[in-house]
Amino acid sequence: MLEVKNLSVNYYVDEGTVKAVAGVSFDLKEGEILGVLGESGSGKSTLGYALLRLVDQPGKIVGGEILLNGRDLLLLPEDELRRLRGAKIAMVFQDPFAALNPVLTIGEQIMESIILHQRATRREARGKAVEALRAVKIDPARIDDYPHQFSGGMRQRVVIAMALACRPEILIADEPTTALDVTIQAEILALLREIKAQFNLSIIYITHNFGIIKELCDRVVVMHKGKIVEAGETRTIFDHPRDAYTKKLVDCLRELR
Amino acid sequence: MIEIRSITKKFGDLIAVNDLSLTIKQGETLGLVGESGSGKSTLARLILKLIEPDSGQIDCQGIDNIRRECQIVFQDPQNSLNPRIRVGEAIAEPIVIHRLLNRSAINGRVAALLEMVKLPAGYAKRFPHELSGGERQRVGIARALAGEAKFLILDEPVSALDVFIQVEILKLLKELKTRLGLTYLFIAHDLSVIGYLSDRIAVMKGGRLIELGDKKTVLTTPREEYTLKLLAASPRF
């Protein structure tokens, strides 16, 4: 459903040009969870932003295609793209503290994108927000609470509810559990699996944690210095890495075990 | 080496550490696991006598000067180093404060400490921002060792680092422990890296010590439901 061809993103900084994403190609199949694995600086987060054309200055998408059901997102005019963000492709970020507006109730924040994208009335939007909260297992009675009234894990659920509100086809999750305790992390991962089935979502899960990839993802692409060095079934890559970098990573993790 | 007897620390109504007893043996690495809010960092501060307990006692045998001989390595070396002070000066500070060496001997000692953590002597002249995360953590370790510490609290020393760097730092810590005869308390919030260094593992929850045993037992057949839950939740490779 999503096909990325030869995507390149450069950052133009004082020291010169950094090729953060250097000719990356992969595809996301319907209903799968695809892992993007990489260390810091590998370009994995830039890739996530680029898929929504959210790369900021001094970064620039300099080439390639992002085909969503055959349409190239890189060729769409900005207003059309804006209709698509959140509606067809949604994103969840690492830090649920930063992703929520502290002075708005969570209901307002979930309703915002529903009203924008679906031209819904407030009453309709509120109904959908309640549904979204149920999907992430938050008591809908809390719809008028503020972010600070929730724990870190609950806040990440709210953020996921926001992302789900418009029933997107694709969810991009960029290290959504890194800031959370391991038991809460396990709950969020279980939740992602559940909503994937329930909403027929396809998920791109970006992380540096091979353990999470192993648990969650059907396939994985390994990024290193802006390039995909290896791609395939998670199990295969874990048991028989072919690329030198992936091998080194797997050896490293085996040593820690 | 460190004997903690029925220690309790409250912050207002919150009991951060609740009637906790624990012995850290000379020469061992004791892993301490717990989720945020479990009281592990409060316990670390109590051991270092940075805060006073409401009740209970901590005895440190073989330690004359706790401020010099008991040190802590923090999670984020970016925040624990002063950005305006050169690496060499940062490492020298404990030596100067505790009047361990003459001015003239300090540079040699700093070079030796840098060598110990496998950084080039030239790094003494650099500022923290010129170093990578892993290099900064090495500086943090060198500074902790500068006053000839015997006991180190490692508070999530690798959680902010990439996997390759994690392994390097853990290897370095293991090597230094043998070479200098150190004792470690290694704090982590998940169980995935704690096995590499630890001899024994303690698990904290809600201010209490709920499980303590040798590494293998705790990681394979723990007694407590909660430890099992932690183990199940840690995505392991």
DSSP state of A148: G
Residue A147 has pLDDT above 70, yes or no: yes
Q: Give the mutation candidate from A177, A249, A252 for the B interface (greatest B CB count, under 10 A).
A: A252
The whole-number average pLDDT for the span A143-148 is 96
Q: Do B170 and A186 touch (CB under 8 A)?
A: no
pLDDT at site A71: 94
Q: What is the pLDDT of residues A33-75, one digit of tens each?
A: 999 999 988 999 999 999 999 999 899 999 999 999 999 999 9
Q: Are B71 and B153 in contact (CB under 8 A)?
A: yes
State the average pLDDT over residues A181-193: 92
- Give the pLDDT confidence score for residue B95 in this predicted structure: 94
Chain A contact set for B33 (CB, 8 A): none
Three state DSSP letters for chain B: CEEEEEEEEEECCEEEEEEEEEEECCCCEEEEECCCCCCHHHHHHHHCCCCCCCEEEEEECCCCCHHHHEEEECCCHHHHCCCCCCHHHHHHHHHHHCCCCCHHHHHHHHHHHHHHCCCCHHHHHCCHHHCCHHHHHHHHHHHHHCCCCCEEEEECCCCCCCHHHHHHHHHHHHHHHHHHCCEEEEEECCCCCHHHHCCEEEEEECCEEEEEEEHHHHHHCCCCHHHHHHHHHCCCC
Nearest to B230 among A182, A254, A256 (CB): A182
Output the pLDDT for position A20.
Answer: 96
Q: What is the mean pLDDT of residues A148-176?
A: 94
Of B167, B170, B237, Cβ closest to residue A214: B237
> Does residue A14 register a pLDDT over 70?
yes
Q: Given this model, what pLDDT does residue B78 score?
A: 76
- Average pLDDT of the residues of chain A: 93
The complex's ipTM?
Answer: 0.75
Q: Could you give the C-alpha distances from A60 to A22, A50, A54, A55, A73, in angstroms and in order?
A: 12, 9, 9, 6, 15
Instruction: Tell me the pTM.
Output: 0.86
- Residues of chain A in contact with residue B190, where contact means CB-CB under 8 angstroms, are 182
Q: What is the pLDDT of residue B25?
A: 96
A227 close contact with B: CB closer than 8 A: no
CA atoms within 13 A on the CB side of A197: 6
Taking residues B110-121, report their average pLDDT.
96
**Would you state the pLDDT for residue A193?**
94
pLDDT of res. B160: 82
- B48 pLDDT more than 80: yes
Residue B195, chain A, CB below 8 Å: the answer is yes
What is d(CA A189, CA A191) in angstroms, rounded to the nearest whole number?
A: 5
- How confident is the model at residue B193, as a pLDDT? 83
Mean pLDDT, chain B, as a whole number?
93
Asked if residue B15 has pLDDT above 70, the reply is yes
Taking an 8 Å cut-off on Cβ atoms, the answer to whether B236 and A257 are in contact is yes
Residue of A nearest to B219 (CA): A257
Say yes or no: A222 contacts chain B, CB-CB below 8 A: no
How far is residue A38's CA from residue A239's CA, in Å, rounded to a whole number?
Answer: 18
Strand partners of residue B9:
B17
SS3 label, residue A121: coil
Nearest to B185 by CA among B60, B10, B69, B33: B33
pLDDT of B235 > 80? The answer is no
Q: Read off the pLDDT of each residue in B111-127 and give the average, rounded to a whole number.
A: 96
The closest alpha carbon to B145, from B187, B185, B108, B110, belongs to B110
The pLDDT score that the predictor gives to residue B237 is 63
Q: What's the rounded mean pLDDT across residues A150-158?
A: 93
CA distance B221 to chain A (A): 16
pLDDT tens readout for residues B65-100:
999 999 999 987 778 899 999 999 999 999 999 999
* % pLDDT > 90, chain B: 81
When pLDDT is averaged across residues A133-144 and rounded to a whole number, the result is 96
Residues B139-189: pLDDT tens digits? 999 999 999 999 999 999 998 888 889 999 999 999 999 999 999 999 988
CA distance A133 to A126: 10
By the 10 Å C-beta count (0-12 exposed, 13-18 middle, 19+ buried), A114 is classed as buried
Tell whether omega for the bond before A96 is within 30 degrees of 0, i.e. cis. no
Over residues B192-205, the mean pLDDT reads: 92
First to last CA, chain A: 37
How many residue pairs from chains A and B have C-beta atoms closer than 8 A? 62
CB contact under 8 A, A181 and B36: yes
Interval A149-175 mean pLDDT: 94
